[in-house]
Amino acid sequence: MSMNGRQDEAEPDRVFALQEEVHQLKEAVTSHAVVDQAIGMIVALGRVTPDQGWLVLKEVSQHTNIKLRNVAELILIWGRTGDMPADVRAELEEALERHGPTQLPGSPPE
C-alpha cells in the first residue's frame, strides 16, 4: 500500500472526528447562551449582581442534583410560561434569599 493509500483510509476517521468536534462546540455555545440568559433573568428578577446570579444558578443545580444547563433551561421556561417544578422553585427562592438584596433598591433603610 502506498503512502497515499494509508492517508486516504485515515481521511474518513479524521472527517468524523472533526464533525464530532464541531458538534461539541455548537453544543457548548448553545449551553453557554442558555446559562447566560438564565443568569440575566435571575439578575433582573432577583435584583442581584451577575456574580450573585451565577452563584444562585450553581447552588440551585447542586441542591437539586440537576445539571446546571437543565436548571437554566427550567428558568427560561419559567420566564415564558410561569411554570417551574416546586423543588426547583423552592431552591431558587432560598438561594435568592441567601444572595439577594436585604431590601429593594431605592427603598428607605429599615
Q: H/E element holding 20?
A: helix 3-46
Query: What does pTM read for this prediction?
Result: 0.69
In the predicted model, is pLDDT for residue 1 greater than 50?
no
pLDDT, average across residues 9-19: 81
Over the stretch 55-70, which tens digit does the pLDDT of each residue have?
999 999 999 999 999 9
The residue assigned the cell 431605592 is: 106
pLDDT, average across residues 88-110: 75
pLDDT for the residue 21: 80
Higher-scoring residue by pLDDT: 94, 16: 94
CB 48 within 8 A of CB 42: yes
- Inter-axis angle of helices 3-46 and 50-64, nearest 10: 110
The residue assigned the cell 410561569 is: 82
pLDDT, average across residues 85-106: 82
CB 92 within 8 A of CB 75: yes
pLDDT for the residue 14: 86
Q: H/E element holding 92?
A: helix 86-99
